Structure 1
Amino acid sequence: MTEARFDETIHAPVRLRICGLLRPVDHLDFAVLRDTLQVSDATLSKHLKTLSAAGYVSSSKAASAGRGDSRQITWLRLTRTGRSAFAAHVQALQEIAGAAG
């Protein structure tokens, strides 16, 4: 079982949602994440930079087979450290809410 630990880095609403969206998947396209969160590129980039600096999110670029141009897709993933921190943060929120057994 995960030990509860409130995480100020993750707790910011957009960052909490980023982690929540990345947790169940291996990776997610920057544009899909941006559109799902309904934020600007700049806003998403700012939050991803914070999560990346904490070691919680990593990114990679790859060409898209479906594109006719040379632009690359930025793929984002929650790191192992990020997954652990997110799980601990969720546990802490559950304890705060009185939901932990």
Structure 2
Amino acid sequence: MENSDTDPRLLVLAPGDNIAVARLEIADGTVLQVAGRSVTLQRAMGFGHKLALRDIAAGERIVKYGAPIGSATVAIALGDYVHSHNVASNYMASTVPVEAAL
């Protein structure tokens, strides 16, 4: 999905997503347009890695492909790297004890 307010090196997969995906490797220090605002990357982004399209509150769902893929474990600022250090998977949560599932 194209978004003229976001750098073409980033891909927004569906309306309502709050993250974008890197279409290629992007070096730290690179200035990108993200949702119409200039953002300087604080760390390099690998191909397929995620970046916040807006501020995301701690506990808020991370939405990719129009579906929640996890929840923010801390506040994530516009343009921040979104990965396992600041997201908990919603798929890993279970109400069934592991022993009972075996």
TM-score by length of 1: 0.29
**Which structure's residues are more often strand, by fraction?**
2
TM-score by length of 2: 0.29
**Which structure's residues are more often helix, by fraction?**
1
Structure possessing the higher relative contact order (Cα contacts under 8 Å, 6 or more residues apart): 1
